[in-house]
A = this chain, B = another copy of it.
Amino acid sequence: MKERSIEKTEALSLKHEKFFSKKALEMKASETRELLKLVENSNVISLAGGMPAPETFPVDIIGEITQEVIKNHAAQALQYGTTNGFTPLRNAIVEWMKKKYSIQISKDNLIITTGSQQALDLIGRVFINPGDVVIAEAPTYLSALQAFEYYKPEFVQIPLDDEGIRIDLLEEKLKELKSQGKSVKFVYTISIFQNPAGVTMSEKRRKEILELASQYDFIIIEDNPYGELRYSGSPIRPIKSWDDDGRVLYLGTLSKVLAPGFRIGWIAGDPRFINKLEIAKQSVDLCTSTFNQVIAWKYIEGGYLDKQIPKIVEFYKPRRDAMLKALEDFMPEGVKWTKPEGGMFIWVTAPEGIDTKLMFEKAVAKGVAYVPGEAFYAHREVKNAMRLNFTYVSEEKIREGISRLAETIKEEIKKSKI
């Protein structure tokens, strides 16, 4: 018999809705998550998630490090920590960013966050007044939209092309907003191997966006969860590395190069911004898990991170290649897709007129799932795109999944022509 809770959901006299804040009444479960629940526990090949492959987790190394932490650092690792983070970890990240990305900072420029998602929420909390203009790429990371949305900004999205955000259109928009007396609080960009589009902002545009930031006086939130996952092409420096003005807040994470289960992210930027973010973090979770921070410190400081990255790259590259090849082999004319040099995602655009949200159930019936593209737009204006993930399932399944997806799209095209 199913456990009966004393809450007695059905018969409850309590009018629970009257207790919710206005903002809570507006909060809705993400439609995308609801759609994806259809896929759970089924034989559907899911290209929808955004998860790293568990095969890339350095399990043995974590086992060794954890034993060392228990043996030598238990009193510290198990205790409360400071809100800005465990100092040795902050120092290790500072050194690593210097070596890897030519970003020159000190530990006062850095706060540890409970994953990148907390970084996004803290940025919303510290910077956004209701009605403030926030600019993002079109499309952009859906959970960033969700985090910022709570703070009620006016969202503006600027299209991407193969070189990242269209700087010409951005400048046009900035002029237009200025003429309307509106100033922009920040531009949010996933500058390398973008989520969901997979594209990378060119060096030229990186420098241009910094100039615009200075000219129009806004800050840049540079989110870089995927930068280490490069399978082809040449390395590129983060925008932050050219930031002479303290205008860039850089978001990093270990979720893709260690494991998401530890929830370790960080924000690097001007100490005055970091200090305010720290005060905000005090009241939302006091501190990020010290235990996990000490493990992360040992992972970076012991050189394991640098050794692990090539292994992850080697594991994912064939999967990206398999997806690109399958798209080439199976997709009908009129379907376009991006060719990412790294990261986790490919953005597929079906012919105009196809609504990928409406098509979703048919795809699932054929045994494949994706994320319908409209969730990556604050105003849901693009209906015919979708995000595909290539890191989680095997090459064979990727090929089979793309074949099923191509079939679904072909049927939709056919139907739309009748």
Contacts and interface: CB of A to CB of B under 8 A. Distances in A.
Interface of A: 2-9, 12-14, 16, 18-24, 27-30, 33, 51-52, 54, 57, 59, 62-63, 66-67, 70-71, 74-75, 77-81, 103-106, 108-109, 114-115, 117-118, 120-121, 125-129, 132, 143, 146-147, 149-151, 185-186, 217, 219, 243-247, 255, 259-263, 269-273, 275-276, 279-280, 282-292
Contacts of A271: 5, 7, 9
Given A7-B269, A147-B284, A126 B20 contact: yes
Contacts of A262: 78, 289, 291
A128 to B, nearest CB: 6
Nearest to A13: B245
Contact of A117 (B244, B246, B286): B286
A280 B67 contact: no
Nearest to A286: B117
Nearest to A242: B6
Please indicate which of the listed interface residues A18, A127, A217, A279 has the most CB atoms of chain B within 10 Å of its own CB: A279
Nearest to A128: B21
Nearest to A71: B63
A75 to B, nearest CB: 4
Given A13-B245, A81-B261, A129-B21, A105 B5 contact: yes
A243 B6 contact: yes
Contacts of A16: 246, 270, 272-273
Given A4-B106, A80-B261, 14 more contacts: A2-B106, A5-B108, A7-B105, A7-B271, A9-B272, A20-B276, A24-B125, A28-B279, A51-B79, A57-B78, A57-B79, A62-B70, A147-B283, A260-B290
A284 to B, nearest CB: 5
